[in-house]
Amino acid sequence: MLPLRQRYAFLLFAAITLVIGARGFYRLYLHIRRGRGDAESRTDRFPARLWYAIVTSLSQSRTFRKRTAVSFFHSFIFYGFVFYLLVNLADAIEGFVPFAISSATTPGAIYNFVADILSLLVLIGVIALVVRRFLIPARHDFRFNEKTLLHPDIQHGYITRDSIIVSAFILFHVGSRAIGAGARIAADGPDRWQPFATALSHLFDAQNAEAWRVFGYWGALGSVLVFLAYFPYTKHVHIFMAPANYLLARRQPSGVLPLVEINLEVEDQQIGAKRLEDLAWPRLLDAYACIQCNRCQDVCPATATGKSLSPAALEINKRMELNRLSKQSSGAESPQPLLQFALTPEAAWACTTCGACMEVCPVQDEQMLDIIDIRRNQVMMEGEFPMQLQSAFRGMERAKNPWGINHDRRMQWAEGLDVKTTEENPAPDLLYWVGCAASYDPQAQKTARAFVQLLNHAKVNYAVLGKKECCTGDSARRAGNEHLYRELADQNVATLNAARPKLIVASCPHCMNAIGKEYSQIGGDYPVMHHSEYLASLVANGKLASDPLDASITYHDPCYLGRHNGVYEAPRNLLHVLSNDVRELDRNRENSFCCGAGGAQFWKEEEAGSERISENRFREVKQRLADAGQQKTLAVGCPFCKSMLNSTPGKGDADEIVVKDIAELLLEGVQKKAGIASVALIEAAPSSANIDVETAPAILQEEPVVAEQSAANPIAANEIPLPAETVQRKKWQPNARTTAPTQVEPAAKTEAQAPPAGALTPSTASAPPPLLARKKWTPKASATSPENGPTTPIADAASLENKADEGAKAEPEPSTQPPERKKWQPKSKNPQA
């Protein structure tokens, strides 16, 4: 027990510090509450949520996903502090009543042993992390890109200062408790159940043991009380906020964005997030749950390629700004927009929405969703977005596809193949969702044609929607244009509800994700799978048989197939059938690295950085296949991954690496099994222009050259499409603003020579149509902001509604050269500037 005076002093001290600490935690509550209501329930199925929070917290399972050694030391501190909740309570009682936990009983021995060992482990853990944090200069975990926007408090050394304060507190708190326990043993005698305290007891003698015991009491418990006043301001608050984040976590997968209800009748409706309070309250909780470990930054494709985006800085900047608002009324508007302190406009548009930051975060923060909300505000309220997105928006608005190619051409990919639409086959077992890429991009058309040939060979009863199909709106939604997404999605949902598909199979993971996961938010609930999953089932059921190819294959996990939808095994199962040399990339499965196309990046210039995202990924591919002694093949399962990795700068130095979709490879294997030689595709004529889909989304497409189908074998080699030109993405130039327009010339016509009997007979290549001139998408401004001048509210997107069907049947005016690309100016308030 403490002396009487010290007991009174301790009670007074505790009362003061507890009041200060309570005010600090109440301040946190007010800051979190200032966020808007969330569109999704965060408290449904509460018992399951509570169990998940307890198990995840106590197991530290998410922390151990990365940095095993560091997580090991961190677990010492975590488990020590969890048990110290009981230890501090028992120690506090000992100071006021004649109470002590003796090792003479079994429960007492267990308690004293665990408390003693954890005291030692906590001290070891803190010292190890301090050494790593401050004494190993090679560590990059706590460094930021020089382009990254950092809050002034971070620039003034807040993180370093906070880390020192927290480390010093833990060392003093636990060390004081250990000293007090050692002094007590020095007075009472050795205790074999407290080996660490017994070792420390030799530092004291009978004369000073009592004084050191009292010091230990005040040092341990007093430091906790003092720390309560500072606790709400430190990153150490995550010990409470992280479990809260687990308890209130989203139940939807990362590939599903929260739904935004848009009411065109409300003039002042706020869409997206401009200020802190525009974010949903769980994402303000994220700021306090953040451990500041920077793991999200480590896996971010934008950060890895030298761009200004850092998801870690985003969360830390949010917390710093919330701390600055301590004296502000909870109902007052934040003084600064998010794009002035949280991240730059350039950083907001650098996100590929790959979801790697959310996947790796130990506390399940939702950094990507913050960026999506910021984009929504920029597009639908401010009218500020990269200029190149206007072409994609207009294409989706008028022609129902981001390429802007006339909707009437949507079935040209299937010419020469026996592909029936739902009008011809109204009750198919499988509805193949072709997607815009496979409808208009010749490279993606190879995947679609290979897939349907495999379906024909397996005698699957399938159909396509044909011209009833339109863009899913994925790119529009990820770019922040929620209204345009809803126009497209609502049309598709109505079409699919009328078709009542038994099963939908998509060869584009973005389409699969939108239809299978996001359409359920607006009344469309369908069974959907990726074509690799369906093909794997056909192979497993013996409906398709393949021989191994003479190729070394490595596989790139698409973000929207793997990380967002958890499809990892099906593509690999197929590849192991197709090759005896399948190699895993270092970054694979949930740790896969993005190709750079997601988040509508495919339709705009990539932000300036040290390299292109696709180049970073392709360099890894080259290293993995460097020593392959046979055909080197990169297998993909997404048309955008195929295009990005096939056109990245480093691909020119590695022409021996062939990029193919899994369906194309399986078709080759099935043909080999059937004894049918594969037929190489005709190369583009020398006069054919290489079209840059970045500068000219309206890709030119020639009529496919198709030979007569073999009646004996529906998967005969002469079914392979023979496009007359190869569409390429322009080589990336980091500092180049634009390139000289490419003059489009008609492709030279070739005359077929008389072939031997049964050989492939290519038809004459038709000249490509002239490149379509793209008019810039100009939202209708209907309000003026006194602060920022003319703005573009929700009615911006409404202007799309009036023009949605305009041009769907008629093409825009032709032009002989692509429009010049204009550099996006982040500070411009007018997208037309």
SS3 for 131-159 is HHHHHCCCCCCCCCCCCCCCCHHHHCCHH
Task: Give kind and range of the element (H or E) at residue 790.
Answer: strand 789-791
Confidence of residue 729 (pLDDT cuts 50, 70, 90): very low
What domains does the chain contain, in order, with CATH numbers? 4-31+42-247 (1.20.950), 276-380 (1.10.1060.10), 389-680+689-731+791-803 (no CATH)
What string of DSSP letters covers 529-544? EEHHHHHHHHHHTTSS
Q: Lay out the sheet containing 504-506: strands in order across.
A: 462-464, 430-433, 504-506, 528-530
The residue among 458 and 674 whose pLDDT is bigger is 458
Which range among 433-437, 714-718, 814-818 has the greatest average pLDDT? Answer: 433-437
pLDDT of residue 327: 61
pLDDT of residue 768: 35
CA distances from 400 to 395, 471, 526, 797 (A): 6, 6, 21, 15
Distance (Å, whole) CA 615 – CA 634 = 14
pLDDT at 351 over 60: yes
HEC-encoded secondary structure of 144-209: CCCCCCCCHHHHCCHHHHHHHHHHHHHHHHHHHHHHHHHHHHHHHCCCCCCHHHHHHHCCCCCCCH
Residues 557 and 537: beta-carbon distance below 8 Å: no
pLDDT at 820 over 70: no
Range with lowest mean pLDDT among 76-80, 469-473, 687-691? 687-691
For 428-471, how does the pLDDT look when each residue is reduced to its tens digit (9 = 90+)? 999 999 999 999 999 999 999 999 999 999 999 999 999 999 99
Distance (Å, whole) CA 476 – CA 606 = 17
Structure pTM? 0.80
pLDDT at 652 over 50: yes
Q: Token digits for 595?
A: 């190709």
Task: Give kind and range of the element (H or E) at residue 482.
Answer: helix 482-499
Secondary structure class of 424 (helix, strand, coil): coil
For 89-109, how does the pLDDT look when each residue is reduced to its tens digit (9 = 90+)? 998 998 888 888 888 899 999
For 267-288, how does the pLDDT look when each residue is reduced to its tens digit (9 = 90+)? 778 899 999 999 999 999 999 9
pLDDT at 172 over 80: yes
DSSP type of residue 380: I
For 565-604, how does the pLDDT look when each residue is reduced to its tens digit (9 = 90+)? 999 999 999 999 999 999 999 999 999 999 999 999 999 9
pLDDT of residue 353: 97
The one-letter amino acid at 197: A
pLDDT of residue 812: 42
Partners of 431 in the β-ladder: 463, 504
Helices (H) and strands (E) in the chain, counts: 30, 10
Secondary structure class of 691 (helix, strand, coil): coil
Max Cα distance, the chain (Å): 112
Average pLDDT, the chain: 82
- Name residues whose C-beta falls within 8 Å of residue 647's C-beta, 6 or more positions apart in sequence: 614, 728, 729, 730, 731
pLDDT of residue 822: 37
Burial of residue 817, with CB atoms counted within 10 A of its CB: 0-12 exposed, 13-18 middle, 19 or more buried: middle
The one-letter amino acid at 754: A
For 510-529, how does the pLDDT look when each residue is reduced to its tens digit (9 = 90+)? 999 999 999 999 999 999 99
pLDDT of residue 423: 94
Range with lowest mean pLDDT among 245-249, 353-357, 390-394, 797-801? 797-801
Answer positive or negative: Cα dihedral of 150, 151, 152, 157. Answer: negative
For residues 292-309, average pLDDT: 94
Confidence of residue 328 (pLDDT cuts 50, 70, 90): low
What value, to the nearest 5°, has the Cα angle with vertex 103 and ends 100 and 108? Answer: 70
What value, to the nearest 5°, has the Cα angle with vertex 324 and ends 318 and 328? Answer: 115
Secondary structure class of 606 (helix, strand, coil): coil
Burial of residue 764, with CB atoms counted within 10 A of its CB: 0-12 exposed, 13-18 middle, 19 or more buried: exposed
Answer positive or negative: Cα dihedral of 74, 77, 83, 85. Answer: negative
pLDDT of residue 662: 97
Instruction: Quickly count: other Cβ atoms within 10 Å of residue 86's Cβ.
Output: 12
pLDDT at 741 over 60: no
For residues 696-718, average pLDDT: 34
Distance (Å, whole) CA 680 – CA 749 = 19
For 120-145, how does the pLDDT look when each residue is reduced to its tens digit (9 = 90+)? 999 999 999 999 888 876 566 678 88
Q: Token digits for 556?
A: 């790139």
For residues 423-429, average pLDDT: 95
Partners of 785 in the β-ladder: 789
Distance (Å, whole) CA 546 – CA 805 = 45
pLDDT of residue 789: 36
Residue 832: closest CA among 237, 390, 280: 390
Residues 180 and 222: beta-carbon distance below 8 Å: no
pLDDT of residue 207: 83
The residue among 377 and 765 whose pLDDT is bigger is 377
Range with lowest mean pLDDT among 310-314, 616-620, 700-704, 712-716? 700-704
Share of the chain above pLDDT 70, in %: 80
